[in-house]
């Protein structure tokens, strides 16, 4: 078995260890004997149909988001949307998450268009939402907590197409008002949680791997891993979040 990860704009969109998510996906595949190729795609690169199983994009500030928005809308947006409809999966964090929605309206300057994988949109607020986050989520019927770190001024309001990734227990989440955090539409997951997120949230990592395999190798199960260390990190992050709120 072989999966191909498309890392979108690794040089422009990568803060607070976002890149570690790609490493975690690749490692969890390798431990199960699944081959992984990681392809970095930057400005101007196009997406060949069916070439990628998992798309990943990290966070970035407004300046990077403007550059990436132009390129996404011109060269990649329609292809990514089609791939998601056809069963590819995606993990997009913070600034990347905002660009997978309809638009991001910064405090100053023009609205930054997104590609609309999600129906939601984002508007900058005055106060920055910074801190440790714990959410409660349900991934393919499995209940799990997800932990991470948020730092954003954008408030995201979800649309009809997607559901929240989870309910915010500690932290601000999408907008600090409705207790939602992140978004899921088919295999596409958006979230404000940096981290790296996946090393300490193995349930989310495996959700993405399962989704990616489902399209390419229907019926294929994945082996459970010994996640003792991962869950120690997970529990530690929950304790720290409780302490800091």
Q: Which of 7, 89, 94, 234 is catalytic?
A: 94
Q: Residue 85: CB partners within 8 Å, gap ≥ 6?
A: 186
Count interface residues toward ligand GLN (CB under 6 A).
12
Residue nearest to ligand GLN (CB): 59
Q: Which stretch binds ligand GLN (CB under 6 A): 19-27, 59-67, 133-141, 208-216?
A: 59-67
Q: Which stretch binds ligand GLN (CB under 6 A): 53-61, 79-87, 138-146, 182-190?
A: 53-61
* Of 60, 161, 48, 148, nearest in space to 104 by CA: 60
Tokens of 173: 């989440």
How far is the C-alpha of 31 from the C-alpha of 27, rounded, in Å?
6
How far is the C-alpha of 151 from the C-alpha of 131, rounded, in Å?
7
Count of beta carbons in the 10 Å neighbourhood of residue 229: 11
Q: Does 165 bind ligand GLN (CB under 6 A)?
A: no
234 is catalytic: no
* DSSP string across 35-46: EEEEEEE-TT--
94 is catalytic: yes
Residue from the set 20, 59, 120, 171 that interacts with ligand GLN by CB under 6 A: 59
Q: Does 152 bind ligand GLN (CB under 6 A)?
A: yes
Q: Does 105 bind ligand GLN (CB under 6 A)?
A: no
- Mind telling me the catalytic residues? 94, 194
- Residue numbers of the site for ligand GLN (CB under 6 A)? 15, 59-62, 65, 94-95, 151-154
């Amino acid at each position: 078995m072989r999966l191909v990860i498309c890392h979108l704009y690794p040089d422009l969109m990568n803060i607070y260890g976002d890149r570690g998510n790609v490493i975690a996906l690749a490692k969890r595949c390798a431990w199960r004997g699944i081959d992984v190729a990681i392809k970095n795609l930057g400005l101007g690169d196009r997406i060949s149909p069916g070439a990628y199983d998992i798309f990943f994009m990290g966070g970035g500030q407004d300046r990077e988001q403007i550059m990436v928005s132009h390129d996404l809308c011109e060269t990649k947006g329609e292809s990514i949307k089609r791939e998601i409809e056809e069963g590819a999966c995606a993990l997009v964090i913070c600034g990347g998450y905002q660009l997978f929605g309809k638009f991001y309206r910064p405090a100053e300057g023009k609205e930054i268009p997104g590609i609309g994988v999600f129906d939601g949109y984002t508007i900058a607020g005055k106060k920055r939402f910074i801190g440790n986050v714990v959410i409660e989520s349900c991934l393919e019927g499995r209940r799990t907590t997800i932990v991470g770190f948020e730092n954003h001024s954008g408030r995201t309001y979800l649309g009809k197409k997607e559901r929240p990734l989870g309910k915010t227990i500690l932290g601000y989440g999408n907008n600090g008002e409705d207790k939602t955090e992140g978004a899921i539409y088919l295999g596409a997951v958006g979230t404000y949680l940096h981290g790296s997120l996946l090393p300490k949230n193995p349930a989310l990592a495996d959700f993405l791997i399962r989704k990616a395999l489902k399209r390419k190798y229907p019926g294929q199960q994945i082996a459970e891993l010994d996640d003792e260390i991962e869950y120690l990190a997970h529990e530690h992050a929950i304790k720290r979040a409780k302490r800091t709120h």
